[in-house]
């Protein structure tokens, strides 16, 4: 089991460019999440998906879109990157709505210049 995988590991973008961060899990989990972590801060929830075909906004959704492509994959898209989106992005998944354990991926380190 690979758990939660994220691609790419590192990315540098210029202001205004777009990109998609990919996340996949092989644990047959229903729920998936995207967080961002700014330097010296805790994680903040961007979007989450309770099940295939559903997505909901988290704490900081502005500037992002998501797609729950299937049960395994949950992507995060930046349509027009801004320097304020420089951060480390973590994807996570959990089994059921009452599951207490979220499994996190290794993160994508994004720099927007």
Partner 1 sequence: DAKTTQPTSMDCAEGRAANLPCNHSTISGNEYVYWYRQIHSQGPQYIIHGLKNNETNEMASLIITEDRKSSTLILPHATLRDTAVYYCIVRGGGTSYGKLTFGQGTILTVHP
Q: Which residues bind partner 1 (CB under 8 A)?
A: 4, 31, 33, 35, 40-45, 48, 50, 58-59, 88, 90, 92, 94, 97-98, 100-107
* C-beta separation of 77 from 66 below 8 A: yes
Residue at token pair 């879109």: 65
Provide the 10 A C-beta neighbour count for residue 111: 13
Closest contact distance (angstroms) between CB of 51 and partner 1 is 11
What is the closest distance, in whole angstroms, from the C-beta atom of residue 90 to partner 1 in the complex? 5
Nearer to partner 1 by C-beta: 33 or 64?
33
* Least distance from partner 1 to the Cβ atom of residue 89, Å: 10
19 vs 45 by CB, closer to partner 1: 45
The Cα 107–Cα 37 span in angstroms is 10
Q: How far is the CB of 75 from partner 1 (least distance, A)?
A: 17
Nearer to partner 1, 59 or 79 (CB): 59
Give the whole-angstrom CA distance, residue 3 versus residue 26: 6
Q: Which is nearer to partner 1, 2 or 14 (CB)?
A: 2
Does residue 70 contact residue 49 with C-beta atoms inside 8 Å? no
Task: Give the Cα separation of 57 and 38 in Å (integer).
Answer: 19
């Amino acid at each position: 089991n690979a758990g939660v995988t994220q691609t790419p590991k590192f990315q540098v973008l210029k202001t205004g460019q777009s990109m998609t961060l990919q996340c996949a899990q092989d644990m047959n989990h229903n729920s998936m999440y995207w967080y961002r972590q700014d330097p010296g801060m805790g994680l903040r929830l961007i979007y989450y998906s309770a099940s295939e075909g559903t997505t909901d906004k988290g704490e900081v959704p502005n500037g992002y879109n998501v797609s729950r492509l299937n049960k395994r994959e949950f992507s995060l898209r930046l349509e027009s990157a801004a320097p304020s989106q420089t951060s480390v992005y973590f994807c996570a998944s959990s089994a059921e709505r009452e599951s207490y354990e979220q499994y996190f991926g290794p993160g994508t380190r994004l720099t927007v210049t």
